[in-house]
Amino acid sequence: MYSEKVMDHFNNPRNVGEMENPSGVGTVGNAKCGDIMRMYLDIDDQGVIQEAKFKTFGCGAAVATSSMATELVKGKTVQEAMTVTNRAVMEALDGLPPVKVHCSLLAEEAIHAALWDYSEKTGTQIEGLQKPVNDIGEKEEAPEEEY
Amino acid sequence: MEQLIYLDNAATTAVAPEVLEAMLPFFCEHYGNPSAIYSFASESKAAVDKARTVIANAIGAKNEEIYFTAGGSESDNWALKATAEAYASKGKHIITTKIEHHAILHTAQWLEQNGYEVTYLDVDADGRVNPADVEAAIRPDTILISVMAANNEIGTIEPLKEIGAIAKAHSVLFHTDAVQAFGHIPLDVDEMGIDMLSASGHKINGPKGIGFLYIRRGVKIRNFVHGGAQERNRRAGTHNVPGIVGMGKATELAIANMKETAEYETQLRDYLISRVLEEIPHAVLHGSKEYRLPNNANFGFRFIEGESMLILLDQNGICASSGSACTSGSLDPSHVLLAIGIPHERAHGSLRITISRETTREQIDFTIENLKKIIVRLRSMSPLYEDYVKKNA
């Protein structure tokens, strides 16, 4: 059901991990729907994304779109990163099954969330960037139960 | 990956070699239509009769109470829709549960759109229906109670006998979807007070596309497929003779080996469950420890998502299933897991393993070793796990 590229990025995800003191970090998605993406960006003084890392809770497509999204934003300026839309991510992965299109939307939102954090911290204006919906649903979770 | 480890026997099973052998002559050799008069068709007719007897005996029914269908879903649809129609003058209320298979749930919803009222009973944390809840839900206009014999996802076995007694005491019909239970655990329609029972061939090493509905004599039920006079005028369509023969043979084998198979599977299942719970952190067993199908284990693993787990298992030749939304084609995880009180985010991380008598301990060991690595890997990628570790650092 998945393209070879999706399987490649699922099996060998690029840029998995966390980042100490990221320039921007954003978490999007909702555990209730089964997808959460967190993206970390390291952005230099010229506004160029030097490093991108991600962590994702989700299906094969969610992992692959996160991985591809980090690859696509690396080396771009924060403004250029706005061109990494869900469509761009999907195309780079040679397409997604229809039920998985929302995963690519989540990848776009994760980029926007990380950029928003950066723009808030630094006061940088990024054209076209809107405050992302940060609905990760975890707050609604019942008190922690150990198992 | 040269090795296949098939751990999805609740989805379907392999046709047993003896079953295939029994079926083969009915394709090219004895292909006569059992409804025909000439003697050439007598082999087919005799084979259908024999299969019917085997199946009737398996559940303590009479031959004429077994109606062959195209499978479990048709049987469930028939039982609900045709009963609803036949008893509409008595009332339009049906009682079922929140954990039924979609063949029941979606049929019940269709009936709701057509003027019927349906009560969907809650279940406890193990997935068991409380018979007292069934009794409390009965109204003067209740015409049918439909409670599954055993759940397809979490393997919970329902208290059929108690529910059957309640149904009888209130003169309400009792149907059970026994697709997962038939041939796996003992079922007796008289002892359990069952008026209708659905079952399927391919869950018991029989072929796909064949099933039956048991309808107790005296139950008013309209025919569902209109046409010829097959199945006592109640279910038209030329008999699927090879399928019926296969279902009969599969039933014969399942009943003859039931005790032995159940003992073997239960032992292997419990070994799997105890190893997973001991060796994998943040893992739980979904469903009942006590009232459980011998071949079913259903786990919840926190912080990870089921489809990712299934893909990685598949890459190691292991077939299993999950209640994750991503495997259902919708955004909602399993309705069964939600009904037993598992939160959405945990339901996404569920894994169902259903073994068979062919499953070996080596296969289970291999699966557990792989599962451990897969879970570590997916957790290392999970923002939920990252948050958990930071919170508890």
**Residue B130 three-state SS:** coil
Residues B227 and B269 placed together within one structural domain of the fold: no
pLDDT at A131: 85
Is-contact A12 A84, C-beta < 8 A?
no
Residues B285 and B370 placed together within one structural domain of the fold: yes
Using a CB–CB cutoff of 8 Å, tell me whether A97 touches chain B. Answer: no
Output phi, psi for B157, to 5 deg.
-95, 130
Residues B207 and B312 placed together within one structural domain of the fold: no
Using a CB–CB cutoff of 8 Å, tell me whether A56 touches chain B. Answer: yes
Residues B237 and B290 placed together within one structural domain of the fold: no
pTM: 0.93
Residues B113 and B24 placed together within one structural domain of the fold: yes
Number of A:B CB contacts under 8 A? 82
pLDDT at A49: 98
User: Of the candidates B333, B343, B385, which has its C-beta nearest A141's C-beta?
Assistant: B343
Beta strand B173-177 with B142-146: parallel, antiparallel or unpaired? parallel
- Residue bearing tokens 């469509």: A87
Q: Is B171 among the annotated ligand-binding positions?
A: no
Residue A109: its H or E element? helix A101-122
Query: Please, what CATH class does the domain formed by A4-124 belong to?
Result: alpha beta
Q: Domain containing B33: what range?
A: 17-254
Is-contact B37 B352, C-beta < 8 A?
no
Tell me which of B254, B272, B296 is where a domain ends: B254
Using a CB–CB cutoff of 8 Å, tell me whether A11 touches chain B. Answer: yes
Catalytic option among A1, A33, A99, A133: A33
pLDDT at A146: 46
Q: What tokens were used for B211?
A: 């099933």
Residues B250 and B272 placed together within one structural domain of the fold: no
Is A103 one of the catalytic residues? yes
Taking contacts as CB-CB distances below 8 angstroms, the residues of chain A near B343 are 141-142
**Residue spans of beta strands (DSSP E) within A1-147:** 24-30, 35-43, 49-57
**Residue B321 three-state SS:** strand
Is A33 one of the catalytic residues? yes
Please answer yes or no on whether B308 and A36 come within 8 Å at the CB atom.
no
Across the range A92-116, mean pLDDT stands at 92
Residue A11: its H or E element? helix A4-11
CA distance B193 to B196: 9
Q: Which of B116, B97, B113 is nearest to B105 (CA)?
A: B97
Could you tell me the CATH number of the domain that includes residue B300?
3.90.1150.10
- B39: closest CA of chain A, how far (Å): 50
Q: How many helices (H) and strands (E) does chain A have?
A: 4, 3
CA distance B272 to B320: 14
- A23: closest CA of chain B, how far (Å): 18
Residues B39 and B147 placed together within one structural domain of the fold: yes
Estimate to the nearest angstrom the gap between the alpha carbon of B285 and the chain centroid: 19
Residues B181 and B244 placed together within one structural domain of the fold: yes
CA distance A106 to B149: 41
Taking contacts as CB-CB distances below 8 angstroms, the residues of chain A near B305 are 34-35, 57-59, 62
Please answer yes or no on whether B381 and A137 come within 8 Å at the CB atom.
no
Tell me which of B218, B235, B254 is where a domain ends: B254
Is-contact B60 B194, C-beta < 8 A?
no
In tens digits, chain B (393 residues) has pLDDT values of: 568 999 999 999 999 999 999 999 999 999 999 999 999 999 999 999 999 999 999 999 999 999 999 999 999 999 999 999 999 999 999 999 999 999 999 999 999 999 999 999 999 999 999 999 999 999 999 999 999 999 999 999 999 999 999 999 999 999 999 999 999 999 999 999 999 999 999 999 999 999 999 999 999 988 889 999 999 989 999 999 999 999 999 999 999 999 999 999 999 999 999 999 999 999 999 999 999 999 999 999 999 999 999 999 999 999 999 987 665 556 678 999 999 999 988 899 999 999 999 999 999 999 999 999 999 999 999 999 999 999 998
Please answer yes or no on whether A59 and B345 come within 8 Å at the CB atom.
no
Q: Is B152 among the annotated ligand-binding positions?
A: yes
pLDDT at B344: 86
Q: How far is CA B28 from CA A84, A85, B23, B24, B35, in A?
A: 60, 58, 10, 8, 17
Neighbour order of strands in the sheet with B296-301: B283-285, B296-301, B350-354
Cross-strand partners of B198: B177, B213
Please answer yes or no on whether B326 and A34 come within 8 Å at the CB atom.
yes
pLDDT at A138: 42
The count of C-alpha atoms lying within 13 angstroms of the C-alpha of B314, restricted to the half-sphere facing its C-beta, is 13
Q: Is B42 among the annotated ligand-binding positions?
A: no
Q: Where are the alpha helices (DSSP H) in chain B?
A: 17-23, 25-28, 42-58, 72-86, 102-113, 131-137, 160-169, 241-279, 306-315, 335-339, 344-347, 361-380, 383-391
User: Of the candidates A38, A102, A142, which has its C-beta nearest B383's C-beta?
Assistant: A38
- Asked whether residue A103 carries a pLDDT value surpassing 60, the answer given is yes
Beta strand B173-177 with B196-200: parallel, antiparallel or unpaired? parallel
Please answer yes or no on whether B315 and A11 come within 8 Å at the CB atom.
yes
CA distance B225 to B133: 34
Q: What is the ipTM metric for this complex?
A: 0.87
Q: Is B360 among the annotated ligand-binding positions?
A: no
Please answer yes or no on whether B308 and A27 come within 8 Å at the CB atom.
no
Mean model confidence pLDDT for chain A: 89
Residues B27 and B82 placed together within one structural domain of the fold: yes
pLDDT at A133: 72
Please answer yes or no on whether B383 and A37 come within 8 Å at the CB atom.
yes
Query: Could you count the other beta carbons within 10 Å of the beta carbon of residue B42?
Result: 14
Could you tell me the CATH number of the domain that includes residue B165?
3.40.640.10
**Residue B143 three-state SS:** strand
Q: What tokens were used for B153?
A: 């996802």
Taking contacts as CB-CB distances below 8 angstroms, the residues of chain A near B325 are 33-34
Is-contact B84 B151, C-beta < 8 A?
no
Using a CB–CB cutoff of 8 Å, tell me whether A137 touches chain B. Answer: yes
Taking contacts as CB-CB distances below 8 angstroms, the residues of chain A near B316 are none
User: Of the candidates A32, A59, A147, which has its C-beta nearest B326's C-beta?
Assistant: A59
DSSP state of B341: T
Please answer yes or no on whether A58 and B284 come within 8 Å at the CB atom.
no
* Sequence letter at residue A19: M
Please answer yes or no on whether B344 and A36 come within 8 Å at the CB atom.
no
Length of chain B: 393
Q: Is B356 among the annotated ligand-binding positions?
A: no
Using a CB–CB cutoff of 8 Å, tell me whether A63 touches chain B. Answer: yes
**Structurally, how many domains does chain B consist of?**
2
Residues B189 and B112 placed together within one structural domain of the fold: yes
Using a CB–CB cutoff of 8 Å, tell me whether B383 touches chain A. Answer: yes
Q: Where are the alpha helices (DSSP H) in B138-240?
A: 160-169
Residues B247 and B267 placed together within one structural domain of the fold: no
CA distance A73 to A65: 12
Give the residue from chain A lying closest to B342, CA to CA: A142
Q: Is B326 among the annotated ligand-binding positions?
A: yes
CA distance A25 to A110: 9
Q: What tokens were used for A13?
A: 């995800």
pLDDT at A135: 54
Q: Is B202 among the annotated ligand-binding positions?
A: yes
CA distance B252 to A94: 50
Residue numbers of B annotated as active site: 326
Using a CB–CB cutoff of 8 Å, tell me whether A20 touches chain B. Answer: no
Residues B345 and B330 placed together within one structural domain of the fold: yes
Tell me which of B254, B282, B297 is where a domain ends: B254
CA distance B6 to B13: 9
Report pLDDT digits (tens) over A119-142: 999 999 999 998 887 654 444 444
Q: Is A7 left (phi over 0), alpha (psi -120 to 50) or beta?
A: alpha
Q: What tokens were used for B263?
A: 């003992």
User: Cβ contacts of residue B239 below 8 Å, gap of 6+?
Assistant: B33, B34, B35, B44, B48, B68, B230
Q: Which of A42, A50, A61 is nearest to A107 (CA)?
A: A61
Neighbour order of strands in the sheet with A35-43: A24-30, A35-43, A49-57
User: Cβ contacts of residue B186 below 8 Å, gap of 6+?
Assistant: B258
- Residue bearing tokens 């967190």: A38
CA distance B172 to B153: 28
Beta strand B142-146 with B93-97: parallel, antiparallel or unpaired? parallel
User: Of the candidates A34, A57, A60, which has its C-beta nearest B311's C-beta?
Assistant: A60
